[in-house]
Chains A and B, each alone.
Chain A
Amino acid sequence: MPFRQIGSQLVKGTTPLLVLTVIGEGELYGYEIAQAVRERSGGAFAPSEGSLYPTLHRLELDGALAAEWRASDRGPRRRYYRLTKAGRGMLAESRTEWSALVRAVDAVSSGG
């Protein structure tokens, strides 16, 4: 279902995992994160981008992300996020949980 958008409630639950995954590959600012998620999901994750910022700020408060303002050559200054050590641990944990969830849902939905 690459171009079909996924339900907003499901997206909301997976946003932290998606955000941590994308930021784990390099420092990014908000719009870049949203774009990366959108592109890598083939448009399947086209959530309200508004949910992105509460998630980013919550992860920052939890210590998973560190943020830094940087001036930009074009347009306004931007707030760059990077993964912290705690964030890497949280990402690994989230992936494990997600895999377990997928397996469980598959098992139920395949009738077996």
Chain B
Amino acid sequence: MRGGEDAAPGGTGARPNADVDDAGDRYLVRVAARLRMPLAAEREVLDELRAHLDDARESLEAEGLDPAQAEREAMARLGSPDALGDDLRRTHQTRRRLLAAVGGGVWDGLKDAITGYIVGIIVVLIVFVSIGTLAQRLLGSADLAWLSGHAAETTYFGLLYSIAAWWGARGLVRSMSRQALRRTAALRAPIALAGGVPLVVLLLIWPLHYGWFGVAAMLAIPVSWIVAALTTPEPGRRSRWSFGRPSPRILGGAALLVIAVPLALFAINPDVQVQTNQAGPTDQARAAMPDQLHWAVLGYTVVAPTVVDLQRSRWDATPFPDRYGNVAIRLTQDAIDWDDWADLRVEAWRALPSESWIRVIDPRVDAPYVVVPLAAWAPTAAVVPVGSKPGVDAYLLFVTGVDRKTGARVEIGYPDGQEVAFTGTIVDWFARLGP
């Protein structure tokens, strides 16, 4: 009803005189302009004042005044509409009420954020599982590394939290508006700021495993909060930004979709596998690695089980580089006769990205990009600076030594083959993008 946007303010009583109604409506419009309350609360106040004006006018008409005079007198008795609106606003919009609304609003926002988180799980599952399986179905051996691995977890949670942030911000603004009897317009910017700034700060100091998708998804969290808060409509008004609370029917349909789509896709192609990328030492996978040919060309000797018992020697490695780009490796099951080997070292090779744990050395490289010597007296552990450069895809680690009998360099261990999941903050990510 503000500024004549809506229908005539106030109640539904019979008002036979149009001029009189116009005057009364103009009076109430001015009151409403000073009230600055949510539409529902505003309507209650204006209905009460409308009824008062109607009663007063009827009474004055009964005393002999003509309708226009009666209306003017009725309004005069109510006093200045600006003063009345200000008085009523001050009565309802107290600081105490605002503080109480903060508490209630945070609780409601939290509940809505949890709802958003659940909706997010459904949406993200549809995105990851459905698109992933569909892409594998359509593209066969397409590179789907972005769907798996540590960096992908950041993407997954970034999307989830973005949706939760949207719901939470909307819930907080709506709830505070309702409880503090303030229009959402008065609360949007403070709430966008109050939530957006801590989220940005948290993002700047929180080290995670990033890929490009993860960076975008995590940046989307504060953006989602701020946009949601700034575009929260007044209750009772539709907005193109308003999605409303999903009905149980929609939630049920989405859940059904999540179950049905992957099942349908798996039914079409039972060979499809959605797997997370947990690279590690597997001798079965190792036996099939085509990079052995590449190595042979480069003059390395492929290790045979008769030389080194790979089945019984196992290396363990931290699953991804730390924020300084280091990976620690350790021999956990030692079946190697160290006296047979000289010049022991760990080599890091660039590898091609793959969603599979069977990684392949990048065919464009002919040398390791990192070499870490192993001490002859303690060859069972090392820290390898594989680097943590944004956008660099994968590496393979090998422990090699020179066979004292033949003089050839031989691979004697395969600690890890991993995507380079960038670990650090978003600031680190952008800071290290340079050369």
Contacts and interface: CB of A to CB of B under 8 A. Distances in A.
A88 interface: no
A68 B51 CA distance: 14
Contact of B56 (A31, A57, A74, A77): A31
A43 to B, nearest CB: 13
B51 A31 contact: yes
Contacts of B48: 30, 53, 78-79
- Give the interface residue-count category, chain B: 20 to 34
A48 interface: yes
A76 B51 contact: yes
Contacts of A54: 84, 87-88, 90-91
Given A75-B13, A76-B11, A50 B47 contact: no
Interface stretch (B72-80, B185-193, B209-217, B248-256): B72-80
Contact of A50 (B59, B79, B90): B79
A60 to B, nearest CB: 9
B92 interface: yes
A49 interface: yes
Contacts of A78: 48, 51
Contacts, number: 76
A68 to B, nearest CB: 12
B83 A75 contact: no
A58 interface: yes
A10 interface: no
Contacts of A50: 77-80, 83-84, 87
B232 to A, nearest CB: 25
A107 interface: no
A49 B51 CA distance: 13
B14 interface: yes
B49 interface: yes
Nearest to A33: B52
Q: Interface centre among B11, B13, B91, by most A CB within 10 Å? A: B91
B92 A75 contact: no
Contacts of B92: 57, 61
Interface of B: 10-14, 44-45, 47-52, 54-56, 58-59, 77-80, 83-84, 87-88, 90-92
Closest 8 CB pairs of A and B: A76-B11, A75-B13, A50-B79, A48-B79, A76-B13, A31-B55, A50-B84, A54-B87
22 contacts: A30-B51, A30-B52, A31-B55, A49-B56, A50-B87, A53-B49, A53-B84, A54-B91, A57-B91, A57-B92, A72-B51, A75-B55, A76-B10, A76-B11, A76-B12, A76-B54, A77-B11, A77-B47, A78-B48, A79-B44, A79-B48, A79-B51
